[in-house]
Every structure is written in structure tokens, then in C-alpha cells.
Amino acid sequence: MIRHHAVFLGKSARIKHNYAIQLCDSDIKQVNCSKYLGVYVDSNFDWKDYIDYIYKKLIKLISIFYKLRCKLQSGVLKMLYFLFIYIYYMELKYMQTLLSRH
């Protein structure tokens, strides 16, 4: 199943559009926020949905580390911690790059 979304950006996003958009005989759903290249893009470019997404991922990660703190050696925990933190750091740097171009 192929999912298509249409997000109106900028000033046109404030106006509720009732366009019927189709691509290859399938309707394209109009949404306020959509994931594109790993980043949640919303119609206002405020990045709230993407920040919430990263926040929820970090909360899950912290709870996992809390449960593993007594089961793994500190060196292994540090290695895993820096691996995951680096991944999220790079996601945030990517978002910052996108914001600087806007």
C-alpha cells in the first residue's frame, strides 16, 4: 500500500483547502503534518510534532537504560548510551540544518 499525503505550507496552510487531489487514481489525503526524509514537517514549520517525536524516543531510551543499569557493566552501558545519544543528536542537527535554510 502506497501512502500519499499533501501538506500545504506557509500562508496557504492557514486557509482550509477542500481540494480533491488524486495520483494514479488514488486519493491523496490532506494532512497538517507528514513525515518526509525522517523529519516531521507540518504546515506551520514550527517542528512541534518532530520535537515531540524525539522526546518520546528519548523517554523510552532513558527507561531502558534505567532497567539495564544493574544488568550490564558500566562500560557497555556507556557505549550504548553514547551510540543512541549520537543518533538522536545527528537527527537534531539535521533538523537544525533544515531550519537554517528556511
What SS3 state is found at 29? Answer: strand
Q: Sign of torsion, CA 42 46 49 51?
A: positive
How many distinct structural domains can be found in the chain?
1
Greater confidence (21 vs 54) lies with 54
Residues spanned by the domain of 11: 5-101
pLDDT at 21 over 70: yes
Rounded average pLDDT over 39-51? 76
Mean pLDDT of 35-57: 78
pLDDT of residue 2: 56
Strands 5-6 and 26-30, by their bridges, are parallel
Strands 5-6 and 21-23: unpaired
Distance of CA 42 to the CA centre of its chain: 10
Residue 41 CB contacts under 8 Å (≥ 6 apart), including other chains: 7, 9, 33, 34, 35, 50
Contact 34, 41 (CB under 8 A): yes
**Mean per-residue pLDDT, 8-34:** 70
pLDDT at 1 > cutoff 50: no
